[in-house]
Amino acid sequence: MDSYITAIGTAVPPYGFSQLQIASFMAQALRLDEPNRRKLQALYRLTRIDRRHSVLPDYGASPGEYTFFPNTPDLEPFPTVGTRMELYRKEALPLAVAAIEDLYRDEKRTVQPTHLITVSCTGMYAPGLDIDLIEALGLPTTTQRTAINFMGCYGAFNALKTADAFVRADPSACVLVVCLELCTIHFQKKTDEDHLLSNALFADGAAAVLVEGRPNREKPAPSFRMRTFFCDLLPDGKNEMGWIINDHGFEMTLTSDVPTVIRQGIGQALSRLLERSGLAIEDITQYAMHPGGRKILEVIEQQLGIEPHENRFAYEVLRKYGNMSSATVLFVLKEIRNHLLSKPGAGNILSCAFGPGLTLESMILEIIPAVLPVNDQAVAESIAIPSNA
């Protein structure tokens, strides 16, 4: 029994800021002198990010107008974990619902999920987001719930593997996966390289997908058959990426050596993924790489021997939204799906993401083109050029 991604929805918070706006906030909050302010602006320009979104208006506000951070020169008293989790609990549900509403916006059928999987590494509470979604969506209280927490940028892969297992065990299952990340509520006013880099990359966003036991033939967008998964651990990078809960929020460790570690391990890992699928790199027609950062995408291209244009959907998501942790790769898949609406065709998608460990998760999805309705098919045939023309 196979499983299929049949719908994808995404959402970002209402507050969107240019990288230069955010850099200005950071320079002010970190109280940088002019030379270090210019260095910070250069770092932000090099990210290839144009814009990021946050549940907080503060990143575009002037000092004295903050709504979450204290309106003091040094932002003291700095928000605690408890304060940040209160904000997470307030903002998580509306953003998750917005992604689900986007998923259902072009559905021509009524879909009742039997399972709900929630993914997040930026906040937790109990009763949690899963139960809040059951109530907000009016789902049966018997809906089976699974929470995947604190796995970082590769969390969506574990959710999709779990959904795949549910559908293979019960072909009538319909699994709703929701990835929700509020990365920007964890800003840390530290000037070491790790924090400067993470503050330059991460953003807020949510994505939702439906996983079912058959492709959705009732809409023009393709479905994606979940063909093969592969996970590997690169122990040499264990200290290069981390996500730690401290007194004043969750703190990211993200060193400049992460691309080097990925370079050493990604080639072999993706070769084993292709071998499991019985495919060669020539069989891959689309790439859905998690845009963890510009250098990471460039390393992937070098190791796979592909051009930046082939990786353009990841760059587009990075440019428009930044790194939204677990939700980001689903934004990339939606970009590919939208592209296939205008240029339909079969093929395979290679996708991967990285996280603490250093963990590499990867998968191959088979593109299942939509079937044109009978009337549309007749029109297409009627305008086809005869073979003897």
Residues catalogued as catalytic: 153
Distances (CA, A) of 39 to 45, 254, 325, 355: 10, 18, 25, 27
Instruction: Return the HEC string of 211-267.
Output: EECCCCCCCCCCEEEEEEEEEEECHHHCCCEEEEEECCEEEEEECCCHHHHHHHHHH
Report which of 381, 361, 363 is spatially closest to residue 372, judged by C-alpha positions: 381
| Interatomic CA distance for residues 332 and 289, integer angstroms | 7
Count of Cβ atoms closer than 10 Å to residue 40 Cβ: 20
| Interatomic CA distance for residues 376 and 220, integer angstroms | 11
Hey, what are 382's tokens?
Answer: 């009627």
Report which of 172, 161, 281 is spatially closest to residue 226, judged by C-alpha positions: 161
- Tell me which DSSP letter residue 202 carries: B
Count of Cβ atoms closer than 10 Å to residue 42 Cβ: 10
Is 111 exposed, middle or buried (CB count within 10 Å of its CB: 0-12, 13-18, 19+)?
middle
The number of angstroms, rounded, from the C-alpha of 247 to the middle of its chain's C-alpha atoms is 27
Distances (CA, A) of 86 to 56, 121, 151, 157, 272: 13, 15, 21, 27, 43
Hey, what are 186's tokens?
Answer: 């964890």
Q: Is the CB of residue 55 less than 8 Å from the CB of residue 95?
A: yes
